Amino acid sequence: MQARVAIVTGGADGFGAAISDRFRQEGYQVIIIDIDRKKGELKASSGSNLNFLLGDVTRKETWNEALALARAKFGRLDVVVNNAGITGSQSPVHTKDMEEYERTFKINVRPIFCSAQCLVPFMMEQGHGVFVNITSTGCTRPRPGFAFYNSSKAAVSVATKTMALEYAPTIRFNCIAPAVGNTSMLKASIGSGPDSLDRLQKIEDLLPMKRVTQPVDIANAVWYLATDQSSFVTGTTLEVDGGRGV
């Protein structure tokens, strides 16, 4: 049987690395798209069915290259996971500059548009496909200081729901909303000094489950939404947040 194929953006680190590993372990051919060559090549070296594509997911050219790779090497494309994104600095709106605002929407929202534009026609012709887009609990439980991060992730959620209606029943579109995750972005936020554990404890205390989201939590949720286990699920946002959104 021909192996199924998944594209994972930001697949070299954090949530993306765990998602890539889950698909690899399940026998998928995985195309990791990442802008970090060193991390991408290192990740791809960890499994024979991991394939690295250096690229910027805000550019349609990158998505066209990914589709060309999937078609030429594997003859199919089954799953797209739009995981790459940024948080930005925590500060009130009046202190932010236009560059940060535009960069946040460019990196968090534009890939949703570009991936659909480039890949949906192929999936429609193929007769099936799944998109899983990573959003945030910031959509429904916004934290102060992240107004436009929260807004960008809300745009991802609404676009995903709309495309679920546009392309049903052939292609399914769903979102996953993590809480704060144990990734390099969190580590950069809390630092590595003597007070970092105290800062982490304060974050964990805000979550009913008293821990941050682990990459494997997101990988397991993506696997569910990407496979036939969720064949009747489309247009939804699955909260993987330890109760943060309640």
Instruction: Give the residue numbers annotated as catalytic, written as ranges.
Output: 149
DSSP structure string for 107-155: HHTHHHHHHHHHHHHHHHHHT-EEEEEE--GGGTSPPTT-HHHHHHHHH
Cβ atoms of 18 and 66 closer than 8 Å: no
CA distance 85 to 64: 20
CA distance 146 to 15: 20
Burial of 150 (0-12, 13-18, 19+ CB in 10 A): buried
Residue with tokens 């821990």: 211
Torsion sign over Cα 216, 139, 82, 58: negative
Burial of 70 (0-12, 13-18, 19+ CB in 10 A): buried
